[in-house]
Amino acid sequence: DTEVTQTPKHLVMGMTNKKSLKCEQHMGHRAMYWYKQKAKKPPELMFVYSYEKLSINESVPSRFSPECPNSSLLNLHLHALQPEDSALYLCASSQEGRGGGEQFFGPGTRLTVL
Amino acid sequence: AQTVTQSQPEMSVQEAETVTLSCTYDTSESNYYLFWYKQPPSRQMILVIRQEAYKQQNATENRFSVNFQKAAKSFSLKISDSQLGDTAMYFCAFDVAGGTSYGKLTFGQGTILTVHP
């Protein structure tokens, strides 16, 4: 199984809502990533978890809160978002959090903040 | 810090023809990896090809091959016998080798490739 799954596919939320994005992989990968992608732009790295520990936080605002409950699961908790946070949120995983490994991407969650 | 530049925002090619996408990068690292990722209109990004900097031989994957010029810091992607399914946005990406990078990729701005029938 070489698949990264993400739920939900689409999410519309108001600025006062709290919601969560979920990402799952069953490839035994030990590194997982959250990216934010605007239309026709490259993905921007937000967070990296390596062996279930937060290894990189790219100065992301605190209204985004990542969580890695176990090696297969990655969540992104959202609270008090702004309209400019509307984007495609991609999850990815790789075998280890080392340079050079292939990253497997999920299909993304299309987030709209009203 | 690393930078990756893709100078062709959009390209088009006829089915069955060959097209080359350009990528240049800048780094002071001696050991690194370069990638081409493809993101079709359905949005799921997949790896096309990977090159290790210390390997002089250019990587190939079926119809996809690279021209890696380390001294010139150039990493172009050649797609032979283009197919309609090759229509996608292509990203060139850089990663430092070793454990300290945590797989943090530096992406170029992307090239939208359209294959016409």
**Rg from Cα positions in chain B:** 14
Token pair recorded at residue B2: 């690393």
Sequential pLDDT tens for chain A (114 residues):
669 999 999 999 999 899 999 999 999 999 999 999 999 999 999 999 999 999 999 999 999 999 999 999 999 999 999 999 999 999 999 998 778 889 999 999 999 999
Contact A98 B52 (CB under 8 A): no
In this model, does residue B1 exceed pLDDT 90? no
Over residues B86-104, mean pLDDT: 90
Mutation for testing the B interface, residue in A5, A35, A45 having most B CBs under 10 Å: A45
Task: Give the integer Cα–Cα distance in Å for A46 and A56.
Answer: 8
Mutation for testing the A interface, residue in B45, B49, B107, B112 having most A CBs under 10 Å: B45
Q: Are B82 and B16 in contact (CB under 8 A)?
A: yes
Q: Report B:40-99 residues touching A (Cβ under 8 A).
A: 42-47, 50, 52, 89, 91, 95-99
